[in-house]
Chains A and B, each alone.
Chain A
Amino acid sequence: MEVADLTKHYGELVAVDHISFQVKEGEFFGFLGPNAAGKTTTIRMLTGVTKPDDGAASVFGFSILREGLKTRQLMGIVTEMANAYVDLSAWNNLMLIGELYGVPKSLRREGATRLLKEFGLYERRNHLVKGYSKGMKQKLLLCMALINEPQILFLDEPTSGLDVESQRLIRDRIRGFNKNGVTVFLTTHNMDEANQLCDRIAIINHGKIAAIDSPERLRLRSSGLQSIEVSFDKAVDVEELNFHGVNEARKMGDKIRLYVDEPGAVIDKLLDFSRSKDLKIITLNTLAPTLEDVFLKLVKEG
């Protein structure tokens, strides 16, 4: 997928501002950003729901603007804005979507049976979707996105609001489809999810791409985000730990996290501090920056 200068305005607001990136065939690509950063608008443009005001994009060589039917034929889509039909059964939802994608009847039935069994919905295939839980609906949406055996999957917050078990099942399945060669374009708020699943991540903020790289490289290139986590046997005012060399001190539960450039120098100062205040250090850990730290830094800078 190639995206060049894609832009979308809503009145005065520039929702997506000349973004460009590429997603390789078979890649697991994450698209991260805070609320209203432009993630959903980008997905909606790429899936043909919204027309861009400027720029271009192509999927497997087909233009999303001039060859919309061909590009959409290759896609499987799960977005927050597109529901299943609650007045239809899961089976009929799958038959409908299969038919809209031109999947022959025998393959439709075969695919629906396989997917519903895989996601644990087969026993309730004939029940109306209005009686499904949120997790079941989300699994059904994923089945609907997969019924046409897509070459690229667009997933907008696919595990949002789900219980841990459902999240894990969906993540495992998505990972499996990606291993089988399906390109995945995932938007998520969940840093851990992006870190576990994605080959590369783009961070979007205020409609602009702030960074694109692998999760590991994004972490490594962020200076000033290494941290020390410390806890004492008595309560300590976090302001007292704002030594020279500490970029930020933050209380996190019963621990304090210090963001630093040189952990070694700050650890010496922490030891001096504990001796002078007659405090006992309970835990002391040095931590590499998390993806969340990198994300927050980039968003703040943006």
Chain B
Amino acid sequence: MENIYLILVLSPLIGAIIAGFFGPLLGRTAVHSITILGVLISTVLAFYVFNHHVLEQGEVFNQNIYTWMQIGNLDVSVGFLVDNLSAIMLLVVSFVSLMVHIYTIGYMADDAGYIKFFSYISLFTFAMFMLVIANNFMQLFFGWEAVGLVSYLLIGFWHHKESATEASLKAFLVNRVGDFGFLLGIGLVFSFSGSLDYSAVFSSLDNALNQQLWGLDLITVICLLLFIGAMGKSAQVPLHVWLPGSMEGPTPISALIHAATMVTAGIFMVSRMSPMFELSDIALTVVMVVGAITALFMGLLGIVQNDIKKVVAYSTLSQLGYMTVALGVSAYSVAIFHLLTHAFFKALLFLCAGSVIVALHHQQDIQKMGGLRKKMPITYWSALVGTLALIGFPGFSGFYSKDMIIEAVNFSQLPYANWVHYAVVAGVFITAFYSLRMFFIVFHGKSRIPPDSAKHLHESPLSITFPLVVLAIPSAIVGYFIIEPILFNGWLEGAITVAPNHTSMTELSHRFQSASAMIFHAVQTPPFWMMIGGIIAAWVFSLYKTQWADWMVQKFRPIYYILESLYGFDRLNEIVFVGTVKKLGNLLWRVSDVGLIDKILVNSSANLIGVIGSVVRKIQTGYVYHYAFFMIFSLLIILTWTLFAGDSPLLEF
């Protein structure tokens, strides 16, 4: 099996290398054939691996492939851990990636960076494989950074656009915050277990019990730090600000990276770490609450957006929030289930949006669309499937996963779970509202397309519509078929640990009868009626009485303002973080450079650059005098400290 895993992981890398280094020599057709072949091999093998592990219950594969460095007790290896969790992830990643590869042929056809783009997305696929297949923290972190890196490259892909480069910089910086939390978490893991290998770490968790750090359990601190990493990558409030900006990148990568795969890495990571998170109710509560905040408030923002990709982006944020909530209530398998269904339907929705964007010559404002149903039938029907899956229409795949999350929250014993329950139920209304609003405005109603582009309007080419259709199928049905095995029949058993006192999963399994029974049961539950309400509201405001929407905006201007300014997160970052740091730097600069030197002793920096003559001599004396004074003064402080403080007081802190 080892060779199969190796080929699975490496074939996109080989494709990326060939495309990256020899692409210009080979030409466009060869490049896309080679990269697609690479990913196709991976996909086929991923099916095989899935069959071997999940369906035939093959043995878990956990081996180090290559020892990278060995320093004292720190052993850093490249290793594969293939269990059911990673087998499922491999399948999702390779399948969506394959679809996006094919789609890219049509979408990027007119772009000068065609070859580079293929090389990047294949590289991304490789990095994502390395992330999910890792058997140790170090490799996980490396995959984590690598997918991040490709993501920045692709967000800034159209680097002639100022907004694109800014968005990639923003994504980079925000993710740095998360990454350093993650890194500190890994460091603490190493400090108590002495290893970075998953299995070794999980089996030595007892060492960490009853240890305290900053008044919290050590485990809690570790989990919170790791979760900060997840918050960065999976865009949870308040580290979500980079994801809407990432829409500056080309649409295929929005589908692949910023909806289906990379952003769910945080969810995957927390599930992997379930043995650790299960030991800390505090951490789980934080996870759940952060998820609920993201699910509810990011969904609200989707309502006021008019950029087709931004709507889907905020919807992604909100759905990631749902997955995080599921993690918080210990329903890891439900989170993975939602991750899986979401990967299909959200990739589908993004690709539909891309199809519309291409047809309208890169018009992204939904107010300038409308009535596309007739002109683009395939896109229309695929988008309808995606939308129904997203809002959780009974029978569609999103329905099963989302309903299970809501139920799991209902059974959770954690504090604030009841509030979170309200939030996720309310979220259903909001999801239905913004999804259908977009759907109606884009595909129904009167066409608001300028006549000259309306003339050339036609359905997208096969390379674009084929992935749509292929993705629409699982979006519609996959939930029905896999809900029972993935949640209750042990697909994820062994890969995920749930503490006996966290009972939401067992409660769920008691209630669950069958997938079809769920459909009939749905009509008696509040989420179903919330969804219906959302659909009706969307219809009223966007088709039936559009003037009511304007009236609402007028009436509730303050709320609209808050939503439109995205709760001021960007402003807050601007002021608090960027501002403070700038001010601090400025202050230091003023005190040390300008204050001490320039003001007191005539302009010295300017002198350094080139004022010659007598001024120079004058400054030199004073200048050095001041430096010397500063040195002696510091010496004095240190001596005083040594005299009175005794043994190193700083170490206590």
Binding between chains A and B: no
Binding site for A on B (CB under 8 A): none
Binding site for B on A (CB under 8 A): none
